[in-house]
Amino acid sequence: MGIARLIDHTLLRPDARPDQVERLCADAVQWGFATVCVNSCYVPLCRRRMEGSSVMVCTVIGFPLGAMLREVKAAEAAAAVNLGADELDMVMNIGWFKAGADEMVVSDIHRVLDAAQKRPVKVIIETCLLTEEEKERATRLVMESGAAFVKTSTGFSAGGATAEDVMLLARVAAARIGVKAAGGIRDYATALKMIEAGATRIGTSSGVAIANEERNQGLKESRSQG
């Protein structure tokens, strides 16, 4: 399996236009990415464009801060599911978490899980804002909540994914849930490093460049062997 099937092909910029989302969808079908990941207003457009393909539609919930009311996150998740979202990437309430309000954090996740109606939910813990101990504790909370993935980053905070953080999350997750690396992954070498560290999904806006680089590298290797 090529790297494309591990990629959430992402366009979450605030200035993203419908024509750019159309291009995102076309690229995802061409390369066979796992999902297109967009803001919720573009879920209907992506749902139409993905009909008949294997590419799923992913959207973000409580993005990028995670500090919304629990009811608002749940409502956004329910609306996205009704519009055709296949997967949801929600942002953990980081302030509650750092204050030790673990029960409130888990309640927040559970409300989104309920609204997701058994669709995969990835919980973004924003690793760049956490200590090593907090990263471990956050991953355990995500596992205990019943979510499908723990995700490193929104890409909109002080830092993105690092191989060290992915390795830590994967060690704690112990293959019980997936690990999504996102934020700052712009080339094949970086994506491969994340996968080797334990990532089972890659979130990136550079999916085409990464998949194309993998293909070109494979062509070079086959020519050298020939």
| pLDDT score at 196 | 98
What is the domain count for the chain?
Answer: 1
Averaged pLDDT of the chain: 96
Mean pLDDT, residues 206-221 taken together? 88
**117 backbone dihedrals φ, ψ, rounded to 5°:** 55, 50
pLDDT at 221 over 90: no
Mean pLDDT, residues 63-68 taken together? 98
CB 148 within 8 A of CB 116: no
pLDDT at 1 over 90: no
Write the CA distances from 10 to 23, 49, 109, 119, 220, integer angstroms: 11, 15, 22, 19, 28
Could you give the angle at which helices 102-116 and 132-145 cross, rounded to 10 degrees?
Answer: 40
Q: pLDDT tens digits, residue range 82-105?
A: 999 999 999 999 999 999 999 999
Mean pLDDT, residues 139-164 taken together? 98
Q: How many CB atoms lie within 10 A of CB 156?
A: 16
| pLDDT score at 223 | 64
What is the set of active-site residues?
Answer: 89, 151, 180
Compute the C-alpha angle 100/181/163, nearest 5°.
Answer: 90
Give the CATH number of the domain where residue 123 resides: 3.20.20.70
Q: Which residue has the tokens 């939910």?
A: 121
Domain extent for 116: 3-225
Q: pLDDT tens digits, residue range 14-30?
A: 999 999 999 999 999 99
| pLDDT score at 218 | 73
CB 115 within 8 A of CB 74: yes
